[in-house]
Amino acid sequence: MKLLQCPINGIRPLSEFTYGGEYRDMPNPDTCSDKEWAAYVHYRHGAPGVKKEWWYHGPSGTWFIAERDTMADKVVRTYIAGQEEAK
């Protein structure tokens, strides 16, 4: 059974979680160029490595960030968005 650490609820089976996509900084839609916006909407960075990802713990409704090495499928750390300094 694969396990994942929810920053609020602790270690839980992966079946309690849903993957929410890669975390990416959104350019300011009012000031960025069309090219920048199109790249943000359509492009994904597929190279393996440590990625920031959104994950959702369903039973408690908790969204959080997991930093995951997509080459090794190993989660480096998890934290609530905006609280990464505490981890």
Partner 1 sequence: MQDAVLMSPVAFAHALRKPVSGEVNGMETALSFDAADVEASRSKTLSICDVSNLNRFGVKGPQAANWLQTAGIKLPETTNSWTPQDNGSLVMRLGNTEFLLEDRPENDLARMLNDTAVNEGGVHKVMRNDAAFIVSGELTPALFSEVCAIDLDGATLAENRLVMTVIAGVSATLLKQTLNGQSVYRIWCDGTFGPYLWKTLLSIIEEQGGGPVGFNFYYSLT
Give how far Cα 78 sits from Cα of 13, 41, 71, 73, Å.
Answer: 15, 25, 17, 14
Q: Per CB under 8 A, does 81 bind partner 1?
A: no
Q: Per CB under 8 A, does 12 bind partner 1?
A: yes
Q: Give me 38's structure tokens.
A: 């199109």
Q: Per CB under 8 A, does 27 bind partner 1?
A: no
Rounded least distance, CB 80 to partner 1, Å = 10
Element (H, E) at 75: strand 74-79
Q: Per CB under 8 A, does 83 bind partner 1?
A: no
Q: Per CB under 8 A, does 48 bind partner 1?
A: no
